[in-house]
Structure 1
């Protein structure tokens, strides 16, 4: 047995909330925030649950629900007090939500049938399904696009950012690009 392995213990469920979906799955990864979890899908919209501990018990209670902000695949991104995600208008608008209330602060159309969001410093990188990378300033007051470039062919993969490089995968290649500081 390796030093990191241990005898398996049964998992303990702390809380569970059923979320009904018409698509047989919720494709977005839950977003962990301060004492909370956000879930999003095309069936339920976007919901935030506050997690709290009462004695030995841990519970999850719905803080808010935004039924119109329905995301198909791209996982929302939490930056400070703001949640960025794709939402209404056939799921192609980039939306900024107030994390405390779930209210929409702004919406920007034109992100295609899919886009994946990655945060880099004070900016968002959105890679859409056509392989176009869009640089956006984080601003809760309005959408501010700083630039865009065609990086790859058709993709539904999420980009990754590490050590000043963005990694993108399309239908046939995995490529790393150095980003300017």
Structure 2
């Protein structure tokens, strides 16, 4: 796995700021749920990890992104979609940028942004719930450019508004826009001015965020749209492979695609299930589809040692389990039944699991068995936003409160001579 992460580091440093301690986009520096060079405590106090600071927030499910001493919060306050830069140590605001929004949820009452902010080369890119795509200066919050993608590309509202975080590949901002009437399911924008560079796909948007891979000497942008899993050439928008994925009707694709070598995994609930495909130099092929192993409503599984660890089930109906399985053989290594729905990330060979019931869980990242190290009731409300981890600080939020939790002791206990590795 470490070799795999090294390869990802090489790839994703072309698309994001990957220094240790940064969490510049959805699912961390590599979009894999893995943190870079973090060291965490192996146990928590009985009361849970200390709260370094907390503050109120507006509506929305967008998790934070972090670069150096700035945490970028994207939420809705009144009729304004608001981007704020916060000092990671104190929570004090450094700047604020607002944009009017009149979106009202129909299928779901949430009216705030869902997509995680993206930080790249001193810029912040946000994709609002009603399709407002904008670029801000990271130091000042000044607006550099913006596009009303729903108006320009004739995009419908969808079930929950916009929920896909854009990605940067080869100096282009690639966005799951969903403008099928304009052949603009996926659109590439220039980073500096926001100009349209190309558009492709006659499909609606999903709530899945794209990833990228460097295979066979070239970059691929991997998207899950409303009804397809596709590989796109980031240079020109040419479709390099395409598989049916998803169903019509009241269904969504929410989990991000996961790359393991030249294989890709996708998962969804609503009778869709898991998909495992192989990307060769000349083509791509389906290896298997299966609803029984992992059908996750929106949680992206984590690759660990060539296996996948994630949630099988839904938040709203039935039960959910946490499982570890081998996508090559479809064999389940272990399963924690009735675990409950959750999102998760990995750091220091530990799983940090944020359950939607507000419980935070720490467990070993293991291929053999589930071993819990600690848990704490962080919120007493439904918690959907993805956590962000930076320099031992975990940023978690529900729809009312943002908390900065300390997962690494500021003054760790000294190692006793008897336990010293040098003895």
Q: Does 2:241 align with 1:15? A: yes
Q: Which residue of 2 aligns with 1:140?
A: 367
CA contact (8 A) 2:246 2:268 kept: no
How far residue 88 of structure 1 moved from its aligned partner, in angstroms, is: 5.4
Structure 2 match to 1:167: 395
What TM-score, normalized to structure 2?
0.39
Residue 135 of structure 1 contacts residue 147 of structure 1 at CA under 8 Å; is this kept in 2? Answer: yes
Deviations 1:46-95 (A, max 9, x none): 121111112xxxx2212333321211121111112110111259351101
Is the partner of 2:239 in helix, strand or coil? Answer: coil
- 1:114-169 deviations in whole A, cap 9, x for unaligned? 20011112011111011111111122111111111112232011111122111101
Q: Quick one: which of 58, 62, 74 aligns to 2:299? A: 74
Rounded to whole Å, the distance in 2 between the matches of 1:52 and 1:126 is 34
Task: Give the structure 1 partner of residue 152 of structure 2.
Answer: none
Selected match of 1:65 from 273, 286, 289: 289
The answer to which structure, 1 or 2, has the higher relative contact order (CA under 8 A, 6+ apart) is 2
**Structure 1 CA distance for aligned equivalents of residues 331 and 319 of structure 2:** 17
- 2:334 is the counterpart of 1:106: yes
Task: Go from structure 1 to structure 2 and tell me whether the alpha carbon gap of 1:3 and 1:160 turns closer, same or farther (over 3 Å shift).
Answer: closer
Q: Counterparts in 2 of 1:124-135, with a 5 A limit? A: 124-135=351-362
Structure 1 residues 176 and 62: alpha-carbon distance in aligned structure 2, compared to 1, 3 A threshold = same
Between structures 1 and 2, the one with greater strand share:
1
The answer to whether the 8 A contact 1:160-1:167 is kept is: yes
Contact 2:319–2:338 (Cα < 8 Å) also in 1: no
SS at match of 1:16: strand
Runs of 4+ in structure 1 off by over 6 angstroms are none
Paired residues of 2:396 and 2:404 also in contact (CA < 8 A): yes
The question of 1:44 aligning with 2:272 is answered yes
Q: 2-side partners of 1:67 and 1:125: how far apart?
A: 26
Q: Which residue of 1 aligns with 2:320?
A: 92
**How far 1:18 moved relative to its partner?**
0.8
Secondary structure of the equivalent of 2:241? coil
**Any unmatched runs of 5+ in structure 1?**
none
SS, match of residue 8 in structure 1:
strand
Secondary structure of 1:117's counterpart equals strand
* Count of residue pairs brought into register by the alignment: 176
Report the CA distance shift for 1:75/1:104 in structure 2 as closer, same or farther (over 3 A): same
TM-score, normalised to structure 1, is 0.85
> In 2, are the aligned partners of 1:84 and 1:95 still within 8 Å (CA)?
yes
SS at match of 2:362: strand
Distance 1:110 1:12, change over 3 A: same
The structure having more radius of gyration, on CA atoms, is 2
Change (3 A) 1:108 1:3: closer
Aligned with 2:404 (options 160, 176, 180) = 176
> In structure 1, what is the Cα distance between the partners aligned to 2:297 and 2:196?
38
The runs of 5 or more residues in structure 2 that have no matched partner are 1-144, 146-189, 199-235, 410-423
